[in-house]
């Protein structure tokens, strides 16, 4: 396997800048050989690891289905699907090469590449519309970001992706982002309790949390982040080394993801899709998995079923300009080297 030019010290240095701790296990793998294995009586299988950005949630169904339905194996791949505790760990794994692929928000990728010269390549966008919403109690609704000036807003984490999006939305609506007082409260269901106590006027959540609150008797007012500032949502990424040295493997991995997404979108497969999801997450009940599946499907097809996984490089460029204007990034990244918008077409031509 070709050398990446990134030695152990460089990996540790980049990880330190991201504020993440690298496990000792896997550092040798950071400069190791391509991982291939052969089962008895079979041809060599290329082994890879995909790591989610947070747990095994229903939104990761295409990746779980890709493995469980055999789409990876049909393409000569053995891709292990593992979970993570959040975006930093997902970025860390790919950086240190303890994993090979993951899926995070575009903001995280642009920031890491522009500020730290992280060697990431983005190549497929399964989620075409952000799941994030601005939520508030229905009897005290917040209808726009402008209404948040001088008020307390509940955020998932300080300095996280949604926090940055709030800054971009505030600027878009002509208010000073600093005028929004932010309080870390976690996700929607718990955040609503802060609103009921009058500690915040609104919070960040998703349709899943909104539906859960309403089912529990708490009416919620909401509007989508994308209706204010549309940015590329969850996107698959790997390293430049993996892409340049093993492009055929990357295409096959994306082809399996694509087949998994098509499977998930077919409601006739729901029973099997939920079975596959529960192979990873036994805590989710079938009826809850079904409810969440119905909520995430429109996010996959938001730009049309003919544009599944499409990478919109123009939107990445707009995002980068906004991040630069707000001082989130210090300089522009060369998006031609980072955002690969041609791989989806290649993957569609490969049928698992």
Structural domains in the chain, sorted by start: 8-129+232-348 (3.40.190.10), 132-227 (3.40.190.10)
Tokens 């030019």 correspond to 5
What is the Cα–Cα distance from 207 to 297, expressed in whole angstroms?
12
pLDDT in tens, the chain (352 residues): 333 444 444 444 444 444 443 333 333 333 334 444 433 334 558 999 999 998 999 999 999 999 999 999 999 999 999 999 888 899 999 999 999 999 999 999 999 999 999 999 999 999 999 889 999 999 999 999 999 999 999 998 887 788 899 999 999 999 999 999 999 998 767 899 999 999 999 999 988 889 889 999 999 999 999 999 989 999 999 999 999 999 999 999 999 999 999 999 999 999 999 999 999 999 999 999 999 999 999 999 999 999 999 999 999 999 999 999 999 999 999 999 999 999 999 999 998 9
**Pairing mode, strands 202-206 and 181-184:** unpaired
Largest CA distance in the chain: 68
Burial of 171-182, coded b for 16+ CB within 10 Å and e otherwise, reads beeebebeebeb
**Pairing mode, strands 132-137 and 44-51:** unpaired
What is the Cα–Cα distance from 201 to 195, expressed in whole angstroms?
6
What is the Cα–Cα distance from 21 to 82, expressed in whole angstroms?
18
Helix (H) or strand (E) holding 206: strand 202-206
* CA quadruple 116, 120, 126, 129: dihedral, nearest 10: 20
**Pairing mode, strands 132-137 and 220-224:** antiparallel
Global pTM value = 0.84
What is the Cα–Cα distance from 96 to 16, expressed in whole angstroms?
12
Q: Is 55 left (phi over 0), alpha (psi -120 to 50) or beta?
A: left
| Cα–Cα–Cα angle for 60, 62, 63, rounded to 5 degrees | 70
| Cα–Cα–Cα angle for 51, 53, 59, rounded to 5 degrees | 100
Number of residues assigned to the chain: 352
């Amino acid at each position: 396997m070709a050398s990446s030019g990134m030695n152990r010290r460089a990996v540790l240095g980049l990880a330190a800048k991201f504020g993440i701790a690298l496990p000792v296990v896997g550092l040798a793998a950071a400069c190791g050989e391509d991982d291939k294995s052969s089962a008895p009586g079979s041809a060599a299988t290329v082994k890879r690891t995909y790591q989610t950005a947070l747990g095994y949630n229903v939104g990761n169904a295409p990746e779980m289905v890709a493995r469980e339905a055999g789409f990876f194996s049909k393409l000569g791949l053995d891709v292990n699907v593992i979970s993570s505790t959040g975006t930093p760990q997902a970025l860390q794994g790919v950086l240190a090469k303890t994993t090979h692929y993951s899926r995070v928000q575009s903001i995280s990728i642009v920031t890491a590449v522009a500020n730290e010269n992280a060697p990431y390549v983005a190549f497929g966008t399964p989620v075409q519309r952000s799941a994030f919403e601005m939520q508030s109690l229905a009897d005290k609704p917040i209808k726009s970001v402008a209404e948040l000036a001088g008020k307390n807003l509940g955020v998932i984490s300080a300095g996280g992706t949604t926090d940055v999006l709030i800054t971009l939305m505030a600027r878009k609506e002509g208010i000073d982002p600093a005028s929004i007082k932010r309080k870390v409260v976690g996700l929607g269901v718990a955040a609503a309790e802060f609103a009921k106590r009058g500690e915040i006027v609104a919070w960040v959540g998703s349709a899943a949390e909104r539906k859960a609150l309403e089912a529990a008797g708490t009416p919620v007012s909401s509007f989508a982040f994308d209706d204010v500032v549309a940015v590329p949502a969850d996107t698959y990424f790997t390293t430049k080394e993996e892409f340049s040295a093993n492009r055929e493997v990357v295409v096959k991995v994306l082809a399996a993801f694509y087949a998994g997404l098509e499977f998930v979108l077919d409601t006739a497969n729901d029973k099997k899709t939920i079975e596959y999801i529960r192979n990873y997450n036994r805590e989710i009940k079938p009826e809850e998995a079904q409810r969440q599946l119905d909520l995430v499907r429109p996010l996959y097809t938001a730009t049309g079923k003919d544009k599944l996984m499409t990478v919109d490089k123009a939107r990445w460029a707009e995002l980068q300009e906004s991040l630069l204007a707000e001082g989130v990034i210090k300089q522009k990244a060369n998006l031609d080297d980072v955002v690969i918008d041609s791989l989806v077409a290649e993957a569609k031509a490969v049928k698992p």
